[in-house]
Amino acid sequence: MQSGIHIETVVDGLAFAEAPRWHDDMLWFSDFYTRKVTRLRMGGEPETVCEVAGQPSGLGWLPDGRMLVVSMTDRRLLRLDNDGLNTVADLSAVLPHHCNDMVVDHRGRAYIGNFGFDLLNRAAAQSTVLMMVDTDGSVRQVADDLLFPNGCVITPDHATLIVAETFGKRLTAFDIADDGTLSGRRVWAALGDASPDGICLDAEAAVWVASPPTSEFLRVREGGAILDRIVVPDQAIACTLGGPERRTLFMVTGRVSREQRALAERTGRIQAMRVQVPGAGLP
């Protein structure tokens, strides 16, 4: 890591963490291979929120405060109710492979990405779709021809969705209509050698990008200018802005590997650093 930057470890010993979120004054995240959603109050101990047999990924919250979680391998969107996890939507018939990250808008609509191909068995990359689960549980395709749609953010005015195309090495933006449908597709930023995974948005409309293959977190302006770069020893997986005034950048790192190895090595961790520009928008 660069000298002169103060970075502290928040939690380590994770198998493979994803989808960090700041919600209700706590840091929340999924761990694929322990199959747990965890929350952590700063200065406290990690607390298991729920266990997801199909591997948890993207997290979000409905307007009434209930949590939504993506179940990856069985391709379902789940909701945590008082009686436990319940299925909101089954996407297995419309998605070709594992579900992935997600952003939930201010009305409770969930935009969910997916692998599109068998990544861990090194299948050839194929384009895929972005799905929206509406508030009534109905499912709609809102975009296609995306190369591994991954982390997503929504701008504070609720007008724009930005999605990380991991194998496209770009951030792609869409206009959001009142009914949640997307249009006006455009390349928000081409990222060169970087492959975006998890992303978050700040109040200057810049996007922090985690890039696993280049082991760095990048702060990117629309058009592709890189404003900041944080190099890390392991792969950069995801990030979110939270903490007091949303001025803490939480950075998830680890190594993409198969379940058995990830559980044995436990290289996943979440680190934090103070930034000048606070977070904005969703998630």
**pLDDT reading at 5 higher than 80:** no
* pLDDT for res 260: 86
User: Cα separation of 122 and 205, whole Å?
Assistant: 35
Statement: residue 120 has pLDDT above 90: no
> pLDDT band for position 119 (50/70/90)?
low
- pLDDT (0 to 100) of residue 3: 44
Look at residue 114 in the predicted model and tell me its pLDDT: 94
The residues spanned by each domain of the chain are 8-274
Compare 261 and 112 and report the one with higher pLDDT. 112
pTM tops 0.75: yes
142 has a pLDDT exceeding 90: yes
User: What average pLDDT does range 82-97 have in this prediction?
Assistant: 94
- Determine the topology of domain 8-274 in CATH: Neuraminidase (2.120.10)
Evaluate if residue 116 carries a pLDDT over 90. no
Look at residue 40 and tell me whether its pLDDT is greater than 80: yes
Res 154: pLDDT: 98
User: Does pLDDT of 213 surpass 50?
Assistant: yes
Residues whose CB is less than 8 angstroms from the CB of residue 231 and which lie 6 or more positions away in sequence, other chains included: 1, 2, 215, 216
- Owner of token pair 């007091």: 244
pLDDT band at 117 (very low <50, low <70, confident <90, very high): low
**Residue 127: per-residue pLDDT:** 85
